[in-house]
Chains A and B, each alone.
Chain A
């Protein structure tokens, strides 16, 4: 799990990418954060990378959790 709670641009995006580079194909990477824009930008990045987003949880403006399959 990548914990980016309290972190701002561009850290959640960068940390998600770093974690995915280290993960093996098939692994599930979980990113947790609070930065509002990253909640939509991480899935945008995954689409660009051709990776599957398994789920996005969290209330508007609060903590969110994104699960990605490497």
Chain B
């Protein structure tokens, strides 16, 4: 074997529409798994998902179910800690290190009055719209909407 796979690698594109804590976890875990297995990966953050890219907000989303005014999330977080699940911040850093792309939807930024200065520019590769998503998605073998 001569090492890393040849030809152009397969690609996964994930729309992160939800800003829910658990769903953002799913997006990053799947994205990291894909990169680790030799695929390219893009996460397109839009609508509620984009809120998670604001500074200090990555792990601040509610649970998609049983949030119970924060009580459910507290419980899940403590169980995740016990199970040694790594933080979203760590997953985001690994995602970047393995060459994953994080894209921010600029229409959502307009709607919500978010400027690039409000966002984690250290994580974001590009500010873009649906055309960029489609350009990425049409050459992807896997696409997910979370």
Binding site for B on A (CB under 8 A): 6-11, 13-14, 16-18, 21, 25, 44-45, 48-52, 69-70
Contacts and interface: CB of A to CB of B under 8 A. Distances in A.
Nearest to B30: A10
Interface centre among B36, B97, B98 (most CB of A within 10 A): B36
A49 B84 contact: no
Contacts, number: 60
B35 A17 contact: yes
A25 B3 contact: yes
12 contacts: A6-B84, A8-B84, A8-B85, A10-B36, A14-B32, A16-B36, A17-B36, A17-B98, A18-B98, A45-B37, A50-B3, A51-B4
Given A7-B84, A17-B35, A50 B97 contact: no
A10 B29 contact: yes
A39 to B, nearest CB: 15
B37 A48 contact: yes
B5 interface: yes
A14 B5 CA distance: 17
Interface in B65-108: 83-86, 91, 94, 97-98
B2 interface: yes
A11 to B, nearest CB: 6
Given A13-B37, A44-B37, A50 B6 contact: yes
Contacts of A48: 5, 37-38
B135 interface: no
A45 B3 contact: no
B111 interface: no
A9 B28 CA distance: 11
Contacts of B36: 10, 13-14, 16-17, 45
